[in-house]
Amino acid sequence: MIPLPPVPELDELLDEAGADLTARVVDLNLVRVGMRSNLPDFAGYSYFTRFVRDGAPSADYWVDCVDLDRTPVDEARLNDLADRTFRGQRFRTGFYLTSYFGAPAYLVSRGSRFAVFGRRLEKTVWPYFVKHLLTAYAADNGLLHLKAAGFADAGGQGTLLFGRGGAGKTVFLATACAEGGAFLTNTHALLRGRQAHGVPAVMRIRDDACFAPLIRNAGLEGHLEDNEFKADPARLFRTTVDSATVRSLCVVDYRPDRPYGIRELSAAQGHDFLEQFAFAVSAYGLKDDLLAHYDGDLDPYLEAYSRMREQLRDLTERCSIFHVNMDMLNPAMRDEVLGTVLGGGLPSRRPLTGGRA
C-alpha cells in the first residue's frame, strides 16, 4: 500500500482552486482505490459495498474527482496538465469507455495518481477507472482480469459466467446462489491460475420476473440508471466468498426464440469467445490505456499482454466449458444446468425470495 503520492503540478492547482476533497478508500478485495471528491455526497461511491475503515487511508491507486461546478478551476491550466493520451483525448469529447458517455472532462494520470475534472463524474468511476485500474493491477502483479460473474459450491469450486450484454448472466448467478451457491462476483474477477478473486461491488438489477420480489421485499434503492436498482450481494444471498478455485466456465446465451440446451465447448472455442468477451483488454478496449500505463514502452506492454493471454489459454484448457441457453427461472431447466455444470447440483435449495436483512 502507498500513501497519497505527491504530484506537484496537480496539488498546486488543487490548492490554488481551494478544492476541499474528502477521501474514502474502496476495498476491491485484492485492490484498494483511494477516492477523493469535492462533493459531500459523491454519487460515485454508490457502486461499492466495501470501504476501508481502520487507520489512516492507504491505497494502491488514488483518484480525485473534482466537480467544476462546485470548484471552478482555470481550464487553460487544466488543458496544459491533462493527458495527451488516447484516453485523455477521448475524455475531452465526453467519451469515457465502450458505450459510456458524459460531459467533457479532463483526465490527469501520473503513475498511481489520477484526477478527473468535469461534471457528473460518477459516470467515470465504474465505467472507466475501476476497469482500467483492475487491468493495470493485474498486469503488474501476474494476474488475469476477466469480465465475469461467478459463484462457488460448498467445496469451494467455482463457476465463472460470461456472455454478451443481456445474455442472462445476472439471472443465472442469482438463481444459482438462491439454490445454495456462494456469491463470488457479479462483474469482475482477478485470477492467478485457476484461483479467482471476486471484486466486491453493488449488483445492478432490473425490475423483471427474476428480481421484482427482491426489489419489493428488500426495499432496494434506485441506481444511477433508469429501471435499475442497487443491492449488496451480502444482503441478497446466504453466503458470499472472496475467492474460489475455478472448475467450470459457462458462456451464458439465453435466447428463448432458439432451441434450449446445454452443450460442452472445446478449449479452443472457449478461448476464442473469452478473448473477445471476457479478457478485459479486449472486452473494454483498454489496449491504449495499458500501453500508456507502461509509458508507451513496448517491451513491458508486450510482456504483460502476452502473459495474460497465455493465462487465459491455460484457464480454458484446464476447465470444463459450457454453452448454456436455458431458462434459469424454470426449475427443471435450472436443475439440469446446475447438475451438468457442477456434477450433482448444489445443496441447500431455497426459493429466490431475498437474503438476510
355: in domain: no
237: in domain: yes
Q: Give the domain CATH number at 259.
A: 3.90.228
Note whether 192 and 132 are same-domain residues. no
The last residue of a domain, from among 119, 140, 161: 140
205: in domain: yes
Cβ count within 10 A of residue 153: 23
Domains identified in the chain, total number: 2
> What residues form DSSP beta bridges with 195?
192, 245
* Domain region containing 108: 8-140
Note whether 42 and 123 are same-domain residues. yes
Note whether 192 and 337 are same-domain residues. yes
Identify the residue with better confidence: 80 or 2: 80
The stretch 69-91 carries a mean pLDDT of 95
Q: Residue 354: its pLDDT value, please? A: 38
What is the band of 48 on the pLDDT scale with cuts at 50, 70, 90? very high
Note whether 122 and 39 are same-domain residues. yes
Does residue 349 register a pLDDT over 60?
A: no
Note whether 205 and 267 are same-domain residues. yes
Note whether 39 and 98 are same-domain residues. yes
The pLDDT tens digits of the residues spanning 286-344 come to 999 999 999 999 999 999 999 999 999 999 999 999 999 999 999 999 999 999 999 85
34: in domain: yes
The last residue of a domain, from among 106, 140, 174: 140
Please give the Cα distance from 101 to 91 (Å, whole number): 9
Please give the Cα distance from 236 to 354 (Å, whole number): 5
Note whether 123 and 265 are same-domain residues. no
The stretch 45-59 carries a mean pLDDT of 84
What are the phi and psi torsion angles at 268 (to 5°)? -65, -45
The stretch 153-166 carries a mean pLDDT of 94
Please name which of 175, 182, 176 lies closest in space to residue 155, comparing C-alpha atoms.
182
Please give the Cα distance from 151 to 127 (Å, whole number): 23
Does residue 11 register a pLDDT over 50?
A: yes
Note whether 76 and 131 are same-domain residues. yes
The pLDDT tens digits of the residues spanning 253-299 come to 999 999 999 999 999 999 999 999 999 999 999 999 999 999 999 99
Note whether 123 and 148 are same-domain residues. no
168: in domain: yes
The pLDDT tens digits of the residues spanning 203-228 come to 877 666 667 666 666 556 555 455 67
Please name which of 235, 242, 230 lies closest in space to residue 188, comparing C-alpha atoms.
242
The last residue of a domain, from among 140, 165, 181: 140
The pLDDT tens digits of the residues spanning 98-139 come to 889 999 999 999 999 999 999 999 999 999 999 999 999 999
2: in domain: no
Average pLDDT across the chain, whole number? 91
Note whether 185 and 116 are same-domain residues. no
Does residue 140 register a pLDDT over 70?
A: yes
The stretch 239-265 carries a mean pLDDT of 96
236: in domain: yes
Note whether 210 and 288 are same-domain residues. yes
Note whether 205 and 307 are same-domain residues. yes
Q: Residue 352: its pLDDT value, please? A: 40
Q: Residue 2: its pLDDT value, please? A: 63
C-alpha cell at position 269:
472455442
> What three-state secondary structure class fits 230?
strand
3: in domain: no
